[in-house]
Amino acid sequence: MSSTATQSTATAPTSAGVTAFPSANPKEMQRVFDVQKRHFHQVLKVSKANDRIKLLKKLLASVERLTPEIKAALQKDFRKAPHETDLTEIMPSVAELKDAIRHLKSWMKPERVKTPVSLFGATSTVVYEPKGVTLIIAPWNYPFYLAIAPLTAAIAAGNTAIIKPSEFTPETSKLLSKLVKETFQEGEVAVFEGDHTVSTALMELPFDHIFFTGSTHVGKIVMAAAAKNLSTVTLELGGKSPAIVVPGANLKKAAKKLVWGKIMNAGQTCVAPDYLLLPEGKTEEFVKHAKDAVKSYYGDSAADIKSNKDFCRLVNQRNFQRVSGYIHEAVEKGGKIVMGGETDSSENYIEPTLIANIPDNARIMEDEIFGPVMPILTYKNLDEAVEKVLSKPKPLALYVFGSDSKAINKVLKETSSGGAAVNDVIIHLANPNLPFGGINHSGHGSYHGWWGFKTFSHEKSVFKQAAFSSIEMLYPPYTGFVDRMIQLTKKFFV
């Protein structure tokens, strides 16, 4: 196998806590792009289901073989616990691959659609053809899974792929480069490691599709760059995903799930509950249950939590400063820490934290937090809670807890979000039969399972005319007979 094109390995961390990489190499990027374009037209464009399944099985075997190294890489990058890596990186990657392998043949079948009577004699079909050479820009928060999941969809749909891993997780970046090099030919999949200059240089190329996972701010940059080449784009972004507890909800159960969803991966999850809306008078009870949940997960004391190897760290100093800054500013503006609050810059550590009495002008209520910190807001009636959600850009996820179906349906109908879950958090994305994606500020397009295959495919309409065509009776010259046929068609068949 020929090797993938990569930048050299990472150097020492910079003062900002971000690993430095060599600058981009546009000539090498162009060369690999051209190799993939040739391979796509010569091989992948006409590939059969079995050809793609072979590639998916090779990728699955590599993921399973390298699982210990994947765990070690994530442990080095931000002290992610091996069990959490299993649950949030390995298992979903394997599930995506197995789902694609299992269903690809049915996904690839042309879909026969109805043809109107006015076009009598013809047949109509939707054919799913691969888009071509694709670019996958992966994030740092789930650096393995969020590279492998879109790659699975790209391969299943018959495309080539160039992956740009995040420079913020250099060990995982190197691991992805190794995996791809050992699994694929350069014309099938390649990896370019590096900083933002690599992404910028790659986006100058006329990719047939760009798949980006990251912040809304960078998503706008990606979309603008893609527009220069009219590349289609999938943007998996984020936003402030709210959690609404409706009156009468079981606060103990809600707290257990919300705490888990908020502090998993130290809160660095695009669909983590970002802020909580509670009925007035329920804050104290909720906080009690939240504290109990944290104790059951990570230990009885602040020292226990900090020393627990299952609780990971913020990815780097820059993100630690950002999240800890949110806490300090919120307190300065009148917010009250009701759980946690301890930080340690030497470890990029932030204790699971709840803050009440948050003013609307605090930055923590404007930016996506991406850390183990959750503001608590209260509301007098459900209309007020819904209005709070509507006052912000549409989020990637929305969570509602309770047993009152009327109240739950009100929240779901009157708000808009990429996805929603009732009485749970995050795990809706584990169902491959549901599309996962955002709306407006939280993203464009969706993927997972069939939806990923569709995202990386072009839905080509194929119209086949039979020997006899009713339309020929409507050709010029427009005689009296043609006029009668037109009137007949308008009256009965249109």
| pLDDT value of position 473 | 82
State how far the alpha carbon of 93 is from the alpha carbons of 23, 28, 146, 247, in Å: 30, 29, 8, 38
Q: Please count the other Cβ atoms lying within 10 Å of the Cβ belonging to residue 72.
A: 16
**Structural contact between residues 165 and 178, judged by C-beta atoms closer than 8 angstroms:** no
Q: What is the pLDDT along the chain (494 residues), one digit of tens a residue?
A: 333 333 333 333 343 444 455 567 899 999 999 999 999 999 999 999 999 999 999 999 999 999 999 999 999 999 999 999 999 999 999 999 999 999 999 999 999 999 988 888 899 999 999 999 999 999 999 999 999 999 999 999 999 999 999 999 999 999 999 999 999 999 999 999 999 999 999 999 999 999 999 999 999 999 999 999 999 999 999 999 999 999 999 999 999 999 999 999 999 999 999 999 999 999 999 999 999 999 999 999 999 999 999 999 999 999 999 999 999 999 999 999 999 999 999 999 999 999 999 988 899 999 999 999 999 999 999 999 999 999 999 999 999 999 999 999 999 999 999 999 999 999 999 999 999 999 999 999 999 999 999 999 999 999 999 877 878 888 899 899 988 888 888 887 77
CA gap 192, 5 in Å, rounded = 6
- CA quadruple 26, 27, 28, 31: dihedral sign: positive
**Domain residue limits, the chain:** 26-237+446-458, 242-433
- What amino acid positions are annotated as catalytic residues? 236, 270
The DSSP annotation for 259-307 comes to HHHHHGGGG--TTS--EEEEETT-HHHHHHHHHHHHHHHH-SSHHHHHH
**Structural contact between residues 55 and 188, judged by C-beta atoms closer than 8 angstroms:** yes
Fold of 242-433: Aldehyde Dehydrogenase; Chain A, domain 2 (3.40.309)
| pLDDT value of position 490 | 83
Task: Enter the pTM of the model.
Answer: 0.91
CA gap 197, 456 in Å, rounded = 25
Q: 434, exposed or middle or buried, with CB in 10 Å at 0-12, 13-18, 19+?
A: middle
CA gap 112, 124 in Å, rounded = 6
| pLDDT value of position 15 | 37
CA gap 109, 471 in Å, rounded = 29
**Domain 26-237+446-458 -> CATH class:** alpha beta
| pLDDT value of position 329 | 96
User: Which run of H or of E encompasses 148?
Assistant: helix 145-156
